[in-house]
Structure 1
Amino acid sequence: MSQAFAVLIHCSGPAKASPVKFVNMLRDSDIDSMNTDLSKLSRANEEHHDNVQTLLKKFKDLLDDYSSLKSDYEEDRNPFVLVLVDGDGYQFHERYIKAGSEGGINAARELNDSVRELMHATMGMQADQCRIMVRVYANILGLSKLLARAGLVGHEARALAPFTSAFNRAQDLFDFVDAAEKKEGSDFKIREMFRLFVDLNQCRHIYFAGCHDTGFVSMLAPYRGRSDRITLIKAASFHRDFEDLGLPIKELPAVFMSGPLVGTKSSPVHSINTKMAPAPPPMALRQFANTSKSLQGRSHPNLSGLLPLLWVGPEDFLFATLPPPSLKSEEFIPINKDGERLDTYCAHPSPDAFDAYHRRAKEAKVCNSYHLSGECGDMNCHYDHSDVSNTIIDVLRYICLQHPCPRGGSCRSIKCYMGHICQKPNCKAVKSWQCRFNLRAHSVDLQVAQWVAPIDQPEEDHRSSISAESFESNSPSTVFFS
């Protein structure tokens, strides 16, 4: 084939012909050569791209390794453990609270030493490398009022402030934080702190002191069985639902109260073993069959369908099962899984306390409503509103709880100071049914399922209709059935 050929282009027109144009065409060998060169260039470009990508990947891996090494270095340099405390439910020992500023310092030191011992048992050799961070959240104003009623602090608005300030100064990473008066304020802050640190490698372990509130069970549930990360701290009102999480449970008896907050040293609650034994199953101490003989011949249309089991036992059973008085019980009402109201535990006053009450009653009968609910709506009330000792208030509260509230388990008034369950140890109702409370008040499930907000309900007038002698009476005529 010739190197070029002519292309003749004819133009229209009769007289004049267009010039002939010649186009040079490439040979096949030239085209093949150029295709080969293009392929080589494409492969070279791909190899260059691959080399660049490989280099970039190596550089990224190098940065990741550096970041990991830096993170490991930071973790090894500043590891710590976190102690989360719900101060509304976990109260420090009375001796610390009463000592004010000095007590705050001593409480912080004792907490530091006690947690350090737990760390050695939990973490072994790593314990010496870790610092201790403590966060206590509480409603300082409300807690001050509660402690003032117990006679542990003064009656100033924030009487607990000297204790908390000294607690904060005692250790660099210790903070007693005021969660304000907002409902569930402490719970919210504790949840956020837990979520922030639980998966942080630098935080080697969390000691959780909030096991009085079942609302935290769902927060801890994803870490069920993670004993390497979480340890539960047990105190006065430990709820048994936390036992199902498979997490280790420890106590700090030198730091927190192991029993419910009471008004005075003379209260018999101190004679009870403060190491809480596991509570017996609710409604399972005595069979209803044991009482069937005593109920024979007492027909009543509402007896059918009653629960077959009664809980009746010694005082330490009630102490271990019922929730103790706390800041939470000042704002919310405990109910069981059936929606029935429960009462906080109230210890039987000592004989000396009753004597003091009788002496005071001879001077002037105190107003139940004013001293127990904080107000009296009767402008013409004839009963005494003057200050009385915490001993008198403890006896008065115990006496009123021995008288059933007309609303029973449906009561939702936060100001109600009457009884909603029978708290009489070894109540005679099991043998002769001589008790003011009905059968249901002896057989309700005593386990707290939740804390509910109170509801405004008309208050019954019990300003002084209850006397210290009346609660000892067990006349069958006072028995009623719902």
Structure 2
Amino acid sequence: MMPGSHSQSLAKRYEQIKLIDENKDDLIEDLLRRVNELEDVYQQTKLDREREIRFNRDIQLHEMELMNQIQRIKKIMDREPYIIVLLDGDGMIFHDQYLRNGEQGGKDAANQLASALNHYVSRNLPNVTSPKLVTRVYANVSGLGNACYHAGIVDKPSVIDDFVRGFNESRLLFDFVDVGHGKDRADDKISETFKLNLYNCHCHQIFLGCSHDNGYARLLEETIADIELLGRISLVEGIPFERELESIKNSYRVTQFPDLFRTTKIVVKTPLKTHTAMLSPHPTGATLTRTSTNTSSSSSNTPISSSSWASVTALNPGDVTLQLNKPSSPAPTSEPVVQRNKVGQRIDRMDFKNLSKDELNRVKKMKLCNLFFLLGSCPNTNCYHDHDHKLTRDEKEVLRAVARMTPCHFGMSCEDPKCIYGHRCPQSEVGKKDCHWGSNCRFEPAQHGIDLTVVKTTKV
């Protein structure tokens, strides 16, 4: 081997070893860089983990605080549970034995009501433990006294004052509230008290006694859309539910306390002479008596049903007729007449088809006094309907139609030409024996499909 080639071989081998060392150094440097990157990632992950641990610990502490707060609030909410009973005294009428016993009767009625409520709660509201019982009865007390006196339930109106006093003295949270004279006073107070308690967390149930008054249907319809509220309301039925309430009562709990409340209206037996005097076109020199035009019932003490304590003396003008002595002055040339068809059925001209439904509903909601606006005066000193509205001619015609929707006590045999109430169903058509309301119509079947051809008139 030549000396030069040996040195070249060694140099070549050295270069190879040098290259290997360089590759080794590069590998070590790459490894070190990767270690540094992983260490950075590790440190970041460690920080994130520590931050998460601290966050979870804070969340747990906050959750524990919230749970403690909820428990404290729940204890506060459960501290004074109560149920409230709201009764419209114009229709939810206590049985006669309570009313006639005066002060003791009021105490007995309150205690019996408390016992019935406790039994109802234990049976239907097991989650409510020992609730307080709050009762509010709203009524025109003087009207109640007069109604009970004229119906023969009590021997003097002041007995009802004694009853109210006994009711109020019986329990701390039982109140019989005298709303005085005026329309819708009981309704308005009950509505506002109802709304005040509906969302109160301490109030676990509202008992609403209003089966006699369709006006409460508006109040109840507002809560039907909220399912959570339905279970908080129980309806108390005294007299049967009116038509509008009947259609929505199935959405609520319904209960009755038959041992406490009447299921029929008060019946007045005393003739109201002031009413007949008001109707007389010649009050001076007239002898007025109450005589029935129904030949099957001619007694002057025929019972007449009243719709409420407040309106018991505002009876149907169709319930009375007049017997007049001959007036000293000549009678008016144009006298009112009663029109009848060939079979003797009374015909009242009513043009309901041309009446605006909205206007009809508007006038009905105004709760105007029919006697005052259609006959000129109202004999009922306790009347709670409106007497102050400035009635227009169109409104008067609508009011006349509204009055015709209430059946007259004497039906088609009524002989009073000034009777403002209905003698045939305004919804029926000639020849048809039914109407829109079917079997629920307030008018008798014989008062449907009446022949409207007038063949005779009667002057009274």
Separation in 1, partners of 2:366, 2:92: 17
Give the drift of 1:100.
1.0
Give the drift of 1:140.
1.4
State which of 93, 96, 100 in structure 2 corresponds to 1:94: 96
Give the drift of 1:196.
1.3
| CA contact 2:276–2:289 (8 Å) conserved in 1 | no
| CA contact 1:98–1:152 (8 Å) conserved in 2 | yes
Match of 2:242 in 1: 239
Residues 416 and 106 of structure 1, relative CA distance in 2, 3 Å threshold:
closer
Residues 223 and 207 of structure 1, relative CA distance in 2, 3 Å threshold:
same
Separation in 2, partners of 1:86, 1:416: 21
Residues 188 and 435 of structure 1, relative CA distance in 2, 3 Å threshold:
same
Match of 2:27 in 1: none
Separation in 1, partners of 2:180, 2:94: 19
Match of 2:79 in 1: 77
Report sequence identity in percent: 22
Separation in 2, partners of 1:211, 1:373: 34
Q: Which of 1 and 2 has greater Rg?
A: 2
For the residue of structure 2 that corresponds to 1:206, the secondary structure is strand
Give the drift of 1:155.
4.5
Show the 5 A alignment for 1:2-17: none
For the residue of structure 1 that corresponds to 2:318, the secondary structure is coil
Match of 1:436 in 2: 346
Give the drift of 1:236.
1.3
Match of 1:184 in 2: 184
Give the drift of 1:376.
6.4
Separation in 1, partners of 2:173, 2:129: 16
For the residue of structure 2 that corresponds to 1:192, the secondary structure is helix
Q: Are 2:398 and 1:395 equivalent residues in the alignment?
A: no
| CA contact 2:236–2:255 (8 Å) conserved in 1 | yes
State which of 312, 315, 318 in structure 2 corresponds to 1:419: 318
Separation in 2, partners of 1:376, 1:153: 31
Residues 195 and 231 of structure 1, relative CA distance in 2, 3 Å threshold:
same
Q: Are 2:137 and 1:136 equivalent residues in the alignment?
A: yes
Structure 1, residues 104-144: CA drift from partner, whole Å, max 9, x if none?
A: 11111221222223223321x33552222111111212222
For the residue of structure 1 that corresponds to 2:215, the secondary structure is helix
For the residue of structure 1 that corresponds to 2:127, the secondary structure is helix
Match of 2:293 in 1: none
Q: Which runs of 5+ in 1 are unaligned?
A: 1-50, 265-356, 358-365, 399-413, 421-431, 442-446, 462-467
Structure 1, residues 276-329: CA drift from partner, whole Å, max 9, x if none?
A: xxxxxxxxxxxxxxxxxxxxxxxxxxxxxxxxxxxxxxxxxxxxxxxxxxxxxx
| CA contact 2:83–2:204 (8 Å) conserved in 1 | yes
For the residue of structure 1 that corresponds to 2:346, the secondary structure is coil
Match of 1:290 in 2: none
Match of 1:255 in 2: 260
Separation in 1, partners of 2:193, 2:142: 22
Give the drift of 1:202.
1.3
Match of 2:175 in 1: 175
Backbone CA RMSD of aligned residues? 4.9
Separation in 2, partners of 1:457, 1:130: 48
Match of 2:367 in 1: 452
Separation in 2, partners of 1:396, 1:254: 24
Residues 370 and 207 of structure 1, relative CA distance in 2, 3 Å threshold:
same
Match of 1:151 in 2: 152
Residues 440 and 396 of structure 1, relative CA distance in 2, 3 Å threshold:
farther
Structure 1, residues 393-418: CA drift from partner, whole Å, max 9, x if none?
A: 652869xxxxxxxxxxxxxxx96733
Q: Are 2:140 and 1:230 equivalent residues in the alignment?
A: no
Match of 1:115 in 2: 117
Letter paired with 1:173: L
Separation in 2, partners of 1:66, 1:383: 82
Q: Are 2:285 and 1:370 equivalent residues in the alignment?
A: no
Structure 1, residues 232-280: CA drift from partner, whole Å, max 9, x if none?
A: 111215223223251122222111110111136xxxxxxxxxxxxxxxx
Separation in 2, partners of 1:478, 1:77: 73
For the residue of structure 2 that corresponds to 1:214, the secondary structure is coil
Separation in 1, partners of 2:413, 2:214: 34
Residues 85 and 221 of structure 1, relative CA distance in 2, 3 Å threshold:
same
More displaced stretch, 109-118 vs 84-93: 109-118
For the residue of structure 2 that corresponds to 1:129, the secondary structure is coil
| CA contact 2:85–2:207 (8 Å) conserved in 1 | yes
Residues 197 and 457 of structure 1, relative CA distance in 2, 3 Å threshold:
closer
| CA contact 1:108–1:170 (8 Å) conserved in 2 | yes
Separation in 1, partners of 2:101, 2:82: 30
Separation in 2, partners of 1:219, 1:67: 35
Match of 1:216 in 2: 216
| CA contact 2:231–2:252 (8 Å) conserved in 1 | no
Match of 1:327 in 2: none
Give the drift of 1:96.
1.0
Match of 1:206 in 2: 206
| CA contact 1:137–1:186 (8 Å) conserved in 2 | yes
Letter paired with 1:136: V
Q: Which aligned runs of 4 or more in structure 1 are off by greater than 6 angstroms?
A: 57-61, 373-377
Structure 1, residues 191-219: CA drift from partner, whole Å, max 9, x if none?
A: 12111111112111111112322222222
| CA contact 1:436–1:479 (8 Å) conserved in 2 | no
Separation in 1, partners of 2:458, 2:61: 85
Give the drift of 1:384.
5.4
Match of 2:285 in 1: 381
Q: Count residues with an aligned counterpart.
A: 291
Give the drift of 1:67.
5.3
For the residue of structure 2 that corresponds to 1:82, the secondary structure is strand
